[in-house]
Amino acid sequence: MTDQRSHAREPSHRPSARAWRRLSQNRLARVALGVVVVMTLACCILPALLHLDAATTHPAFRHQPPSAAHWFGTDGLGRDYAARVLVGGQTSLAVGLVATLTCVLIGVLYGAVAGYYGGRVDEVMMRFVDFMYGIPYMFLVILIMLMFSESARGNPVPVFVALGLVEWLTMARVVRGQVLSLREREFVLAARLLGAGDLRVIVRHIVPNVLGVVTVYATLTVPTVIILESFLSFLGLGLKLSWGQLVSEAVGVVNPIAFFWWLLAFPSGFLALTLLSLNVLGDGLRDAVDPRGRR
């Protein structure tokens, strides 16, 4: 693997630096990264900067098409739709981020422990994951939401927990597969010979080595989670103001007489653009971390 000759010329041989270089050569991934950053900044800063108001209703201006005053038009209660879409984006992005972090935390620890100890521990732990895969996930999410239902609507924490709890399974599988081969490597043996305990080996030596793969899957988990949240909104179990909720409201007023296209187009366009960028970015990251795929 290590090439002695090019050591002087190449700036860094750390895997993360190499992956970053490869990623920045991928034009599609660069654009996607840009879109994600711009979208995040727009959703977080613009509403405050432009004093947009997502809550005040104007009964006289119901269902106004986009105009100079209301860029994205107004909704059925006369609220400014641009403000609602941007503020909704904050919620959707936050859900994606927090639920993904939950799932990374659980999945990495679970997978690392199962893979590191191997044998019977691994067998039992992975059987449990198989078993969890057998439970219809939508139904699991609904049950968890119901368990928190006293405080569910408006309180994002149960949504985060529910989505994270459902999505950690794949992460655990991926990490476990990596750790199974990592634990046979010399540096793990060396760490053990130097007297490191199991916990230290897992946290200091195993986990940092799977972070590349984990980053890839985390990037791909964010869109999955955002889509799941939008399904919850469709069921009426989601968060108060998110892209998913706006889209499902818009779908609810589709009728053959009057079609308020902006209600559907803007939130679903923003949603699709963000998720599309995250998916493309995840693909780019995968190619960058594991270059075998693009020989």
Partner 1 sequence: MSASEALAVVAGVTALGGVAWLPPRATRVCGALFGGLVSFAVARAAWGLPAGALTGVAIAALLGRYGPPTVLRRLTFLVPSLLLLVFVTTLLMYHAPGSPFAGEKVVSAQVEAALRAHFGIPKSAVEFFGIYLRRLIVEGSLGPSVKVQGRTVEALLGPALPVSITLGLLALMLASAAGLLLGVHAGLRPSSWSDSASTVLSAVGLSLPSFVIGSVLMVLFSLGLRWLPVAGWGGFRELVLPSITLALPYAAYIARLARSGTIEVMNEDFIRTARAKGLPESAVVLRHALKGAILPVVSFLGPAAAGIMTGSFVVETLFGIPGMGQWFVRGAINRDYSVVLGTALVYATLVTAFNLAVDLAYAWLDPRIRSRP
Position among 75, 80, 167, 283 found at the interface with partner 1 (CB under 8 A): 283
Q: Any bridge partners for residue 74, and if so which? A: 80
Tell the smallest beta-carbon distance from residue 56 to partner 1 (Å).
27
CA-CA-CA-CA torsion for 257, 259, 263, 268, nearest 10 degrees? 120
Please state, in angstroms and rounded to a whole number, the distance separating the CA atoms of residues 222 and 282.
10
| Amino acid sitting at position 134 | G
Nearest approach, Cβ of 115 to partner 1 (angstroms)?
Answer: 15
Region of 11-19, 83-91, 210-218, 265-273 interacting with partner 1 (CB under 8 A): 265-273
Minimum Å distance from CB 127 to partner 1? Answer: 5
Q: Is 134 a residue that touches partner 1 (CB under 8 A)? A: yes
Q: Does 28 bind partner 1 (CB under 8 A)?
A: yes
Q: Which residue has the tokens 């991934």?
A: 29
Q: Which one of the spans 33-41, 108-116, 130-138, 201-209 is the region binding partner 1 (CB under 8 A)?
A: 130-138
**From residue 65, how far is each of 19, 39, 266 by CA, in Å?**
46, 23, 12
Residue 268 interacting with partner 1 (CB under 8 A): yes
Tokens of 118: 């191997």
Query: Please, what's the b/e burial string for 104-142 (b: 16 or more CB within 10 A of its CB; e: otherwise)?
Result: bebbbbbbbbbbbeeeeebeebbeebeeeeeeebeeebb
Q: Are 162 and 170 in contact (CB under 8 A)?
A: no
Should residue 295 be labelled a site residue for partner 1 when binding is judged by CB under 8 A? yes
Residue of the chain from 69, 147, 157, 189 that contacts partner 1 (CB under 8 A): 147
25 versus 56: smaller Cβ distance to partner 1: 25
Residues in the chain: 295
Q: What is the nearest approach in angstroms of partner 1 to the Cβ of residue 32?
A: 9
Q: Nearest 5°: CA angle at 139, between 136 and 144?
A: 125
DSSP 238: S
The residue within the footprint of partner 1, chosen from 150, 181, 186, 194 (CB under 8 A), is 150
Query: How many binding residues for partner 1 (CB under 8 A)?
Result: 50
**Contact between 199 and partner 1 per CB under 8 A:** no
Residues that bind partner 1 (CB under 8 A): 28, 120, 123-125, 127-128, 130-131, 133-136, 138-140, 142-143, 146-147, 149-150, 223, 227, 230-231, 234-235, 244, 247-248, 251, 254, 256, 259, 264, 268, 271-276, 279-280, 283, 292-295
